Amino acid sequence: MEGREISKAVITRLPRYYRYLGELMESGVERISSNELSAQMKVTASQIRQDLNNFGGFGQQGYGYNVKYLYEEIGKILGIDRKHSMIIIGAGNLGQAIANYANFEKRGFVIKGMFDINPRLIGLVVRGIEIRSVDELEEFIEANHIQMAALTIPKARAYEIADRLVAAGVNAIWNFAHVDLNVPDDVVVENVHLSESLMRLSYRVSRLQDEKKRKELKKAK
């Protein structure tokens, strides 16, 4: 694995493989062919073989893939076998939703603290995690060796907080604020822009509506 470059497209697809393999394991399935996996995931079998070949041909002719082995290998590639210490900045609904999602912790993302500027939230405890003032941010990051931060705050303060996170040593930001952050090359940002996702849905449903209208007009003629 070391040093091998895997294409971004494959990486984007890996978490989905991981999810399906996890579900197969839960159902007691020990091995699966690329054709069976193809039928379940609605991806061509050749795509699956190509993708999984990136990891050194885990499949065997006439036997298929060993589900548990493949699941664990993909987990390692995704870094899920490691522990990531995480904080959440913004203890509103979205921040609390993340804090409450126990599955993240199962996968190695350990939420160590939450931060907010709202005095009504500071001091509250969500799933055992205390909400602190952002004034304590730097001190907390250093004391707890935090690498990862979820940013669930409005865009107005996102730049400033991101700068502070980076200066304090955080090297991965899960960004829900609706801005593109400027960070140094050795910091990674993964964006979740909900309103952009909603607009893509809007685009597709609008095309669908146009199509329906066209068909009805044709009928009426």
Binding site for a copy of itself (CB under 8 A): 2, 11-12, 14-16, 18-19, 41-42, 77-80, 82, 84, 92-94, 96-98, 100-101, 103-104, 107-109, 147-148, 171-172, 174, 178, 180, 186, 188, 190, 192-210
Nearest distance, CB of residue 146 and a copy of itself, angstroms: 12
Least spacing, CB of residue 3 vs a copy of itself, in Å: 8
Rounded to a whole number of angstroms, the minimum distance from the CB of residue 52 to a copy of itself is 16
**Is there a contact between 200 and 174 (Cβ–Cβ < 8 Å)?**
no
Q: Measured from the CB atom, is 27 or 103 closer to a copy of itself?
A: 103
DSSP 60: B
User: Least distance in Å: CB of 69 to a copy of itself?
Assistant: 18
> How many other CB atoms are there within 10 angstroms of residue 166's CB atom?
18
Give the helix ranges, DSSP H, for the chain: 8-26, 34-41, 45-53, 67-77, 93-99, 102-106, 137-144, 158-168, 194-220
Q: Report in angstroms how near the CB of residue 14 gets to a copy of itself at its nearest.
A: 7
Bridge-based pairing state of the strands 125-126 and 129-133 = antiparallel
Angle at 162 between CA 158 and CA 168, to 5 degrees: 150
Among 108, 100, 114, smallest CA distance to 84 is for: 108
| Residue placing its CB nearer to a copy of itself in the complex, 136 or 180 | 180
Which of residues 3 and 62 has its CB atom nearest to a copy of itself in the complex?
3
Is the CB of 53 or the CB of 206 nearer to a copy of itself? 206
State the residue for tokens 């697809």: 13
